[in-house]
Structure 1
Amino acid sequence: MRPIIIALDFEDREQVFHFLDQFDHQDQLFVKVGMELFYFEGPKILLELRKRGIQVFLDLKLYDIPNTVEQAMYQLGQQEVSMVTVHAAGGAEMISRAKKGLLRGSQKAGVKPAKLLAITQLTSTSEEQMRTEQLVNASLTESVRHYAQLAESSGADGVISSALEDPMIHRSTSDEFLCINPGIRLASDSADDQKRVVTPAQAAKLGSDGLVVGRSITKAADPVAAYQKIAKEWEL
């Protein structure tokens, strides 16, 4: 699959479709709908995107008691999206119940189940932050490896992680387990609030299964040209 997923970090549908109109001639477009957009527009934005033939990664990072997450995923499973997320820190039961709810929802709607991806450590988190703010004594690498293995054993299809961690995750999980990577920047771009960033070419060499790219495309003077440049690097 190896998609380039454009993060639609916009306030409302008007901004979203003004942006997407520039990509009218781009085949197999894949986008991320996150909390900012979903909390304002709700499921209707997903329907509008699907009507345009656009695949959707719904990134809500669910993290709650297992029953609540299962019921939420039952609702999301009916939305015909391609990927959804939970926090691996929610634990084995929460992840497995999320998968159960997702499958029930997709079965009810008669649609293909979304891939369930677990957040390991955010790409905006440094090892120092993890140790001092989360009081995690393991190294960042050890924490990510543990969460990836926990996620796989609990039924998740992959993780969201920094591409820098992909080789270690692939060594520690099965061949089918996905590593989808945010924190992607072109060499000329600012890292902004991200800590563990790589270029598309570096991500490809590290074994990434998909990129999530926001500001490098959405804030570019020519978003289509930026997307095509990323795609060229990604395919090398």
Structure 2
Amino acid sequence: MAKDVIIALDFPNGRDALSFLENFKEEEVFVKVGMELFYKEGPEIVRKIKKLGHKIFLDLKIHDIPNTCAGATRSLLSLDVDMINYHAAGTGKMLNEASKLIKESNKEVISLAVTMLTSTDEDTMHDEIKIDKDLVLEDVVLSYAKLSKNSGLSGIVCSALEVPKIKEALGEEFITVTPGIRKDKNNSDDQKRVVTPKDARKLGSDYIVVGRPITKAENPLNAYREIKEEFLGGK
């Protein structure tokens, strides 16, 4: 299975995102377009980035009734993105509708379900989301992961800390995409469950999503290459 670093294009507008990508004329990269950028620029930013030859994880975390989710999936497939995601909490029926459409499209799209956001810790899960206090966070993530696999999705978005348990239960081919990656675990920003690229490799992550350590770096290309080398095992 291919492993890769996904750069989070967490920019407020398309001008800044495209300007940043000028740093990567020398190579094709995998980038994440999230809500902030997509809602500002719309589908056109996806088309522009695809024209540059880069792969795109369109991170919109779809969560709605099954019919609406299916319609959204159909629209996103027309943009020729490489990876899309849904909230696992949207239920198996919603995930099934999405998975069915993706398979029928014959497109090689990686479909993911978001289990529990890496900004959510166990106290928040219990106190605010109101998930039973008898359940630990890892158990909830595993339950969502099983639902996602049974619904036909390619994998999940989760913390790298949860990857070993996911792989053990659902197999090595079930893809794990892990945000919350920092060069220094003491610099967590708004993330609560963070690991380094080297940690993510050892834990078995298939893809890591990295934003500020690359986008805010003095030399983004060098930062990207260093993180990729560390993740893939060069360091």
Q: Which range, TM-score by smaller chain?
A: over 0.9
Give the corresponding residue for 2:112: 117
Amino acid at match of 2:70: E
Match of 2:214 in 1: 217
> Partners of 2:215 and 2:17 in 1: how far apart?
10
Q: Is the 8 A contact 1:71 1:101 kept in 2?
A: no
User: Is the aligned partner of 1:169 residue 2:148?
Assistant: no
Taking the aligned partners of 1:219 and 1:189, their CA distance within structure 2 comes to 17
- Structure 2 matches for 1:146-157, cutoff 5 A? 146-157=143-154
CA drift of 1:103 comes to 3.7
Deviation, structure 1 residue 32: 0.2
Q: Unpaired segments of 5 or more residues in structure 2?
A: none
Q: Mean Cα displacement is larger for which, 43-52 or 30-39? A: 43-52
2:122 is aligned to 127
SS at match of 1:172: helix
1:187 to 184, 194, 203: 184
* Deviation of the 1:176 alpha carbon: 1.6
The CA RMSD measured in Å over matched residues stands at 1.2
Are the equivalent residues in 2 in contact too, given 1:69–1:94 (CA < 8 A)?
yes
Which SS does the other structure have where 1:18 is aligned? helix
Per the alignment, residue 80 of structure 1 pairs with 80
Q: Which of these residues, 188, 198, 203, is aligned with residue 201 of structure 1?
A: 198
Q: 1:92 matched to which residue of 2?
A: 92
Distance 1:162 1:46 in 2: 26
TM-score (norm 2): 0.95
**Aligned-partner residue type, residue 124 of structure 1:** S
- Measured after TM superposition, the shift of residue 188 of structure 1 is 7.0
Unmatched segments (≥5 aa) in structure 1? none
Indicate yes or no: 2:55 matched with 1:49.
no
Identity %: 46
Deviations 1:30-65 (A, max 9, x none): 100000011111111111111111000000000011
Aligned length: 230
Structure-1-length-normalised TM-score:
0.94
Deviations 1:83-104 (A, max 9, x none): 0000000110000011123344
User: Contact 1:117/1:158 (CA < 8 Å) preserved in 2?
Assistant: yes
Segment drifting more, 221-230 vs 199-208: 221-230
| Structure 2 partner of 1:2 | 3
Inter-CA distance 78–103: structure 2 relative to 1 (3 Å threshold) = farther
Kept after mapping to 1: 8 A contact 2:185/2:195: no
Is 1:74–1:103's contact at 8 Å kept on the other side of the alignment?
no
Shift of 1:24: 1.0
Aligned partner letter, 2:33: V
How is 1:34-73 mapped onto 2 (pairs within 5 angstroms)?
34-73=34-73
Q: Is the 8 A contact 1:9 1:33 kept in 2?
A: yes
What is the deviation of 1:221? 1.7
Q: Could you say what secondary structure the match of 2:59 adopts?
A: strand
Change (3 A) 1:12 1:144: same
> What is the Cα deviation at residue 115 of structure 1?
1.0
- Distance (Å, rounded) in 2 between the aligned partners of 1:22 and 1:73: 31
Mapped to 2, the partners of 1:86 and 1:75 lie a distance apart of 14
